[in-house]
Each structure stands twice: as C-alpha cells, then as structure tokens.
C-alpha cells in the first residue's frame, strides 16, 4: 500500500512527544511489512524539507498552523501516488473528509482539544475554538473510520 500520513509533527521535530513516537513506530513497522509511507508534517528550524528516516519518507512544509493548508495542497498535487490517507489528529484535524474524495481516509485521534487551548491560543480565539470549532471539525468525520490510542 502507498500511504500518505498527515501529522503536525514528525519524530525529529524539537517539540515531538508521545504521539510522534507512536506514529514513528507504527509507520516504521508498516515500511518493514513492505508498505510505502509518506509522512507529511510541519517544517521546523534546521529540519530539511525532505528526509528518509527508517524507510519513512518525510516531507515538511508549513509551520505549526499552516501545515494543515499545506497538507491539502500537497494532497491535491500528489493524490495519484497514494492508496490511503491517515489523518492524525493531535488537537486539530487536517479535515481530510473535505478534500480527499478519491481514496479512503482513516482518522487517528491522539487527543481532541480541551483546556490546553486556553493556554496555547490567545483570547478570544481559544474560546471560539473550544466552544464552536472543535464540534464542527469533528463533525466532518461522522462517516470516516477512526481509531484512538486511548479511551480518553
């Protein structure tokens, strides 16, 4: 399978945490089983635009907030090269059900936005996001197969 995996960070990102370790381990195992994995993530200072780590092809574009629109553009320009898209949601989803129509999507939820928005985003953006946008974002995934890494 040719897999396009959207994630806001990759394993080498200086802000990488448990979600990125999980993603790297799963993608590494998929590559070992013969699948092709393209991980699309945000760029970070000193990180190359493209890199191959453990057989995983990593493409980096955009930043913490613009990675989502850059992912959409990347998909539109490269969709013929993939069989499935993994939409990894770590606070904000990539909203792939809005633009991926040709191939299956699998949602992967690490965490949904909660109180962390109140210290990560300025007022009133945090309040609007928490009380209005999150429900709208997740509503796009009603018919998308989705898995989570924890009960919470």
pLDDT tens, position by position, 139-152: 899 999 999 987 76
Cis peptide before 124 (omega within 30 of 0): yes
pLDDT tens, position by position, 3-17: 999 999 999 999 999
Residue 28, pLDDT > 90, answer yes
pLDDT attached to residue 113 = 63
pLDDT attached to residue 82 = 98
pLDDT attached to residue 90 = 86
* CB-CB contact of 103 with 86 (8 Å): no
pLDDT attached to residue 19 = 93
- With pLDDT > 70 as the criterion, what percentage of the chain qualifies? 96
pLDDT tens, position by position, 113-135: 666 677 777 899 888 888 877 78
Coil vs helix vs strand at 28: helix
Question: In terms of residues, how long is the chain?
Answer: 152
pLDDT tens, position by position, 54-66: 999 999 999 988 9
- C-alpha torsion sign, points 18, 126, 137, 131: positive
pLDDT attached to residue 75 = 98
Q: Domain 2-113+144-148 sits in which CATH superfamily? A: Glycogen Phosphorylase B; (3.40.50.2000)
Domain chopping of the chain, boundaries: 2-113+144-148
The DSSP call for residue 35 is -
What is the full DSSP assignment across 84-150? EEEEEEESB---GGGT--SS-EEEEEEE---TTHHHHS-TTHHHHIIIIIHHHHHHTTTTS-EEESS
pLDDT tens, position by position, 32-42: 999 999 999 99
* CB-CB contact of 22 with 149 (8 Å): yes
* Sheet of strand 84-90: strand arrangement: 50-53, 56-60, 36-41, 2-6, 84-90, 105-111, 146-148
């Amino acid at each position: 399978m040719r897999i396009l995996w959207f994630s806001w960070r990759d394993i080498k990102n200086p802000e990488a945490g448990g979600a990125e370790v999980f993603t790297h381990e799963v993608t590494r195992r998929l590559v070992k089983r013969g699948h092709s994995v393209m991980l699309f993530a945000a760029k970070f200072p000193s990180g190359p635009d493209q890199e191959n780590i453990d057989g995983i092809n990593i493409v980096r574009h955009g930043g913490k907030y613009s990675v989502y629109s850059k992912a959409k553009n990347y998909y539109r320009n490269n969709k013929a090269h993939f069989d499935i898209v993994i939409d990894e949601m770590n606070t904000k989803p990539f909203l792939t059900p809005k633009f991926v129509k040709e191939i299956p999507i699998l949602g992967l939820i690490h965490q949904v936005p909660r109180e962390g928005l109140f210290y990560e985003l300025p007022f009133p953006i945090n309040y609007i996001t928490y009380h209005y946008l999150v429900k709208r974002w997740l509503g796009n995934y009603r018919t998308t197969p989705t898995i989570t890494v924890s009960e919470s």
